[in-house]
Amino acid sequence: MHELLRDVTRRAITPYYQKLAADEVTAKAADDVVTVADNLSEEMLAEGLAKIIPGLPIVGEEAAHADASVQDRLSSDCWIVDPLDGTRNFAKGQPPFGILIAMASGGEAHTGWIYDCLTDRFCVAHRGKGAFVNGEKISARPTGESPPVAAISLIFMEGARREAVKEAAAGYRLVDVPYCAAEQYPRLALGVNDVSIFERTLAWDHAAGVLWLNEAGGKVARLDGSPYRVDEWARKGLVGAASPALWDEMATRLANLPPE
């Protein structure tokens, strides 16, 4: 897998980094763009993954954007692919950005990979076997700062829900979000951030990271404490933290959050 991600980065992503032409970036939704690199990366990843496990269905971000029924595969055995996470950053010619891959069965991810295209940082998690960074098993560590450090994405929140989240975060030291799950999840385990709140919870953005942080000893769960499932991609709200205690503190603050 590491070699596949390196190869795709070298052939599909790096050649376009800071070199995108205007017609190679397309708006696909408000605050959301896709580039020629996203599409080429997904195509190459699909080819590579088909060689690893022939016939296993693939749920790719760009394929699902073109045909929403692709997400029906999330309830069965499948690959889940974000071919270029952090496209907003990539299109601006700045980091961070990466590739996210997960394998799921019965709506739950059991294996995940998080790859940083610029640094070659390679995060891996296997359910029940722990989390690894560049081959070394790691344990999530909080920042140790007081107040705790929070990176909260408000971009997909609206109205009363947004204001309630702001109120819940009062007292934390707020920092900018990286607009890249492939960076945000490692920050929660590696002593950079203590807690994050995500509103949109699409499978390709979160399947690998949720598994990896939980396996590292942090905690990611829905606001009511229920586990994240890849086939519940339309649900909103997810809290990730460097420790269960930090998760509990934020979840308590969010207990009265208005409904989606």
Q: Which of 85, 117, 137 is the last residue of a domain?
A: 137
- The answer to pTM > 0.85 is yes
Residues 85, 166, single domain; the answer is: no
Q: Which of 137, 157, 178 is the last residue of a domain?
A: 137
Residues 38, 159, single domain; the answer is: no
Q: In this structure, is residue 127 part of a structural domain?
A: yes
Residue 255 has pLDDT above 90, yes or no: no
pLDDT in tens, 29-53: 767 899 999 999 999 999 999 999 9
Q: What is the pLDDT of residue 29?
A: 74
Residue 128 has pLDDT above 90, yes or no: yes
Report the pLDDT averaged over residues 134-157.
Answer: 94
Residues 84, 169, single domain; the answer is: no
Residues 156, 244, single domain; the answer is: yes
Domain of 51: which CATH number? 3.30.540.10
pLDDT in tens, 230-252: 999 889 999 999 999 999 999 99
Report the pLDDT averaged over residues 112-137.
Answer: 98
How sure is the predictor about 260, in pLDDT bands with cuts at 50, 70 and 90? low
Percentage of the chain with pLDDT > 90?
88
pLDDT in tens, 159-170: 888 888 888 899
Q: In this structure, is residue 260 part of a structural domain?
A: no
Q: In this structure, is residue 143 part of a structural domain?
A: no
Q: In this structure, is residue 191 part of a structural domain?
A: yes
Q: In this structure, is residue 23 part of a structural domain?
A: yes
Q: Which of 85, 110, 137 is the last residue of a domain?
A: 137
Q: What is the pLDDT of residue 164?
A: 87
Residues 171, 245, single domain; the answer is: yes
- Which residues lie across from 132 on neighbouring strands? 124, 137
Q: What is the pLDDT of residue 93?
A: 97
Nearest Cα neighbor of 212 from 149, 121, 78, 147 is 121
Residues 201, 229, single domain; the answer is: yes
Residues 10, 80, single domain; the answer is: yes
- Which residues lie across from 175 on neighbouring strands? 151
Count of structural domains within the chain: 2
Domain of 200: which CATH number? 3.40.190.80
pLDDT in tens, 195-211: 999 999 999 999 999 99
Q: What is the pLDDT of residue 156?
A: 80
Residues 131, 191, single domain; the answer is: no
Residues 166, 222, single domain; the answer is: yes
Residue 91 has pLDDT above 70, yes or no: yes
Q: What is the pLDDT of residue 154?
A: 81
Q: In this structure, is residue 258 part of a structural domain?
A: no
